[in-house]
Amino acid sequence: MISEKINEILVDEFEVDVDLIQPNLNLKDTLNLDSLDYVDLVVIIESNFGVKLVEADFTNIQTFQDFYDLIKRKTSEN
Partner 1 sequence: MTASPFPIVDKLFLQELLPHRAPMVMIDCLYDFNEKTVAAGLTVREDNIFVEDDILLEAGIIEHMAQSIALHTGYSFYIQQKTPPIGYLGTIKSISINSFPRVGDKLLTKATILQEFMGVTLVSIETFAGDEQIAQAEIKSVIAS
For 26, counting Cβ atoms within 10 Å of its Cβ (0-12 exposed, 13-18 middle, 19+ buried), the class is: middle
Give the span between the Cα atoms of 26 and 62, in whole angstroms: 5
Regarding 36 and contact with partner 1 (CB under 8 A), the answer is yes
Closest to partner 1 by CB, 1 or 39 = 39
| 3-class DSSP state of 62 | coil
Give the span between the Cα atoms of 64 and 55, in whole angstroms: 17
Tell me the per-residue interface mask from 58 to 77 with partner 1, x by CB under 8 A, - otherwise. --------------------
Give the span between the Cα atoms of 27 and 62, in whole angstroms: 6
Closest to partner 1 by CB, 2 or 43 = 43
Regarding 55 and contact with partner 1 (CB under 8 A), the answer is yes
Regarding 16 and contact with partner 1 (CB under 8 A), the answer is no
Residues that bind partner 1 (CB under 8 A): 35-36, 38-40, 42-43, 46, 53, 55
